[in-house]
Structure 1
Amino acid sequence: MHSRFSSFVRTLLAATLLISTATWADSYKGPTPPAVYTQECGSCHLAFPPSLLPKASWQRVMSGLDKHYGSDASLDAATQKQIDTWLQTYGGQGKRAREDPPQDRITRSAWFERKHREVSAATFKRAAIKSPANCTACHRDAAQGDFDEDRVRIPK
C-alpha cells in the first residue's frame, strides 16, 4: 500500500510541476517594472516583459536607442541606466530567451515563431493588429505579462 501511495504522490507532483511550468511559459509573473520603464518604453509599444529577450539582446537594444528599430528613442543617461539595470537584472529568463533572436527582435525569436506558427502574415497585417509586435491586439492581458493562448482573441 505504501509503495502505491508513494507512486501516486510522485505522479501527482510531476503533473503539478508540468502544469505549473506550462502556465509559467505563457505568462510573466516577475517583479513589477519600474514606472520609468512603463512610461518610457510603454509610450510607444508594450513595455515588454524582460524575460522575452536574453540579457545580451537587451544590452544591444539599450545601447542603440538613437536607432531603435527606425526611431530615435534616446533617453537621458540616468533614465537609460535605470531601465538598463532593470532589464539586465530580470532579462533572459526561461525558454523564451535561450538564444539571441535576429536583430534582437522578440518577434523573430524561436519561441515567438513557434507560438505563432499558425498565424498567417496576412493576419498580422490586419488594421486592428498592424504588426506581430502589437501583442496587446490579441493578448488582452499582455501588459500584465499574460500571453496565455487560451485567452487569445484575434481581431477580424
Structure 2
Amino acid sequence: MISQTGRRQQWRLWLGLAVLGLCALVGMGLGAIAAPDFSGTVDVLPLNAQLGAQIYLRRCGTCHLALPPETMPAEAWQVLIQDTNHYGATLPPIPRPEMIPLWNYLRTYSRALGADAQIPFRVGRSPFFRILHPRVELPEPVTFGSCSQCHPKATLFNFRELTPEWQHSP
C-alpha cells in the first residue's frame, strides 16, 4: 500500500511530466511556425547558412521584400549591411554576433564584381539581377513590388515558384 505522502509525490511527478510534455509540444509547434522555409531560395541553403539567412530576413525582410543575395554583388551587400543610413532611413547598427553569420551568408551566396565595375546599389542596375532574368522585360525602375508580379511567393522568400505564364519559360 502507498502512503498518502507517496500518492502526493506520484501525483506531482505525473503532473510535472504532463506539464513538461505540453511545453515540449507547444515549443515544437512554435518552432515550426517561426522557422522559415528556405526551399524556394535561388540556391538551396545548407543548415550552416540558415542562421545568416534568418538574421537577414529579420533585419531586412521586415521593412521591405528581402531580395536573394544572388541578385546583388557582394560589394553592395557589404556596404548596405554596415551603413546605418539606409536609403534615407536611419537604422541601428547590426551587432557583431549577428553581423558575422549575416555577412557570411550574403558573401557566400552573392557574386563578386569585376575589379573596374561600379557597385550598383539598386537591384535594377545589378548585372547579377539581370543575368537571373535573361528573357524578362524589366520595368523601369525595378521595384520590390515588381518581383511579386512573376514570383507570387516572393514575400515568403520563395523565388523559385513562378506565375503560370513563367513556369515553363526556357
TM-score by length of 2: 0.51
Aligned pairs, how many?
112
Question: In the aligned structure 1, how far is the partner of 2:124 from the partner of 2:113?
Answer: 14
- CA distance 1:117–1:86, shift in 2 (3 Å): closer
Match of 2:122 in 1: 105
Distance in 2 of aligned mates of 1:120 and 1:39:
27
2:69/2:110 contact within 8 Å kept: yes
Distance 1:144 1:89 in 2: 19
Give the counterpart letter for 1:57 in structure 2.
Answer: A
- The residue aligned with 1:150 is 166
Shift of 1:48: 1.6
- Alignment correspondent of 1:20: none
Change beyond 3 A, Cα 1:70–1:48: same
Higher radius of gyration, 1 or 2: 2
Q: CA deviation at 1:30?
A: 2.6
Identity %: 24
Mean CA deviation greater in 69-78 or 83-92: 69-78
Q: Does 1:68 align with 2:86?
A: yes
Q: Is the 8 A contact 1:101 1:110 kept in 2?
A: no
Counterpart for residue 143 of structure 2 = 132
Amino acid at match of 1:36: I
Q: Write the mapping of 1:1-156 to structure 2, written as runs, cut at 5 A.
A: 28-31=42-45, 33-34=50-51, 35-64=54-83, 66-74=84-92, 75-92=94-111, 103-112=120-129, 115=133, 118-121=137-140, 132-138=143-149, 139-142=151-154, 143-146=157-160, 148=162, 150=166
Q: Structure 2 vs 1, CA of residues 145 and 78 (structure 1 numbering), >3 Å: closer, same or farther?
A: same
Q: CA contact under 8 A between 2:75 and 2:113: conserved in structure 1?
A: no
Once residues 111 and 86 of structure 1 are traced to their aligned partners in structure 2, the CA distance between those partners, rounded to angstroms, is 17
RMSD of aligned residue pairs (Cα, Å): 3.1
Shift of 1:77: 2.7
**CA contact under 8 A between 1:102 and 1:108: conserved in structure 2?**
no
Q: CA, structure 1 residues 133+108, in 2 after alignment: closer, same or farther (shift >3 Å)?
A: farther
Offset at 1:144? 1.3
Q: TM-score, normalised by structure 1?
A: 0.55
Give the direction of change, closer, same or farther, for the CA distance of 1:70–1:103 in structure 2 (3 Å limit): farther
How far apart are the structure 2 equivalents of 1:101 and 1:51? 17
